[in-house]
A and B are shown apart, each in its own frame.
Chain A
Amino acid sequence: MNLRGLYTLFEKEVLRFLKVVVQTLLTPVATALLYLVIFGEVLAEHLEMYPGVGYGAFLVPGLVAMTLIQNAFANSSSSLIQSKMTGNLIFLLVAPISPLEFYLAFVAAAVVRGLMVGAGVWLVALAFVDLPLHSPALVLAFAVLGAAVLGGLGVIAGVWADKFEQLAAFQNFVVLPLSFLSGVFYSVHALPSPWDRLSWLNPFFYMIDGFRYGFLGVSDAPPLLSLGVSLAFLAAVSVVCLRMLAMGYKIRQ
Chain B
Amino acid sequence: MAEAIRVEGLHKRYATVHALRGVDLAVARGEFFGLLGPNGAGKTTLIGILAGLVRPTAGRAAVMGHDVRRRWRQARRALGLVPQELVYDPFFTVREILWLQSGYFGLGRANRAWIEELLEVLNLTAKADANLHDLSGGMKRRVLIAQALVHRPPVVVLDEPTAGVDVELRQALWHFTRRLHAEGHTIVLTTHYLEEAEALCGRIAILHQGMLRALDTKAGLLARHPWRCLCLELDPPGAPLPEAVAALVSEREGGRVKLRLHRLNDQIGAVLDALRTAGLRIRDLRTEEPGLEEVFLELVHEAPAGEAAAAEREAG
Contact = CB atoms under 8 A, between A and B. Distances in A.
Given A16-B91, A96-B73, A91 B106 contact: no
Contacts of B108: 4
A238 B96 CA distance: 30
Contact of A94 (B14, B53, B74): B53
A3 B52 CA distance: 20
B89 A5 contact: no
A87 B106 contact: no
A7 B103 contact: yes
A96 B107 CA distance: 11
Given A94-B51, A96-B76, A253 B14 contact: yes
A97 B52 CA distance: 11
Nearest to B102: A8
Interface string A84-110: 001110111111111000000000000
A5 B103 contact: yes
Nearest to A20: B91
B113 interface: no
A77 B90 CA distance: 17
A253 B53 CA distance: 7
Contacts of B83: 87, 90
B54 interface: yes
A130 B51 CA distance: 57
Given A12-B100, A91-B101, A5 B90 contact: no
B104 A95 contact: yes
Nearest to A4: B106
Contacts of A3: 106
A252 B53 contact: yes
B53 A8 contact: no
A62 to B, nearest CB: 32
Interface in A4-59: 4-5, 7-9, 11-12, 15-16, 19
A94 B151 CA distance: 12
Interface string B76-87: 110101010101
Contact of A5 (B52, B81, B87, B105): B105
Interface in B1-19: 14
A12 B106 CA distance: 14
A83 interface: yes
B55 A86 contact: no
Contacts of A83: 89
Contacts of A5: 103-106
B91 A2 contact: no
Nearest to A251: B53
Contact of A8 (B51, B100, B147): B100
Contacts of B92: 12, 15
Contacts of B77: 96
B55 A8 contact: no
A161 to B, nearest CB: 19
A248 interface: yes
B55 A248 contact: yes
Contacts of A94: 51-53, 76, 79, 81
Interface centre among A9, A19, A86, A94, by most chain B C-beta atoms within 10 angstroms, is A94
B103 A4 contact: yes
Nearest to B72: A96
B174 interface: no
A15 B54 contact: no
Contacts of A8: 100, 103-104
Contacts of B76: 94-96
B101 A95 contact: yes
Nearest to B15: A253
Interface of A: 2-5, 7-9, 11-12, 15-16, 19, 83, 86-88, 90-98, 248, 252-253
8 contacts: A5-B106, A12-B92, A15-B96, A90-B81, A91-B147, A92-B104, A96-B74, A252-B55
Given A5-B104, A87-B85, A96-B76, 7 more contacts: A3-B106, A86-B88, A90-B81, A93-B51, A97-B104, A252-B54, A253-B53
| 4 pairs of A and B residues whose beta carbons are closest in the complex | A8-B103, A95-B104, A87-B87, A96-B73
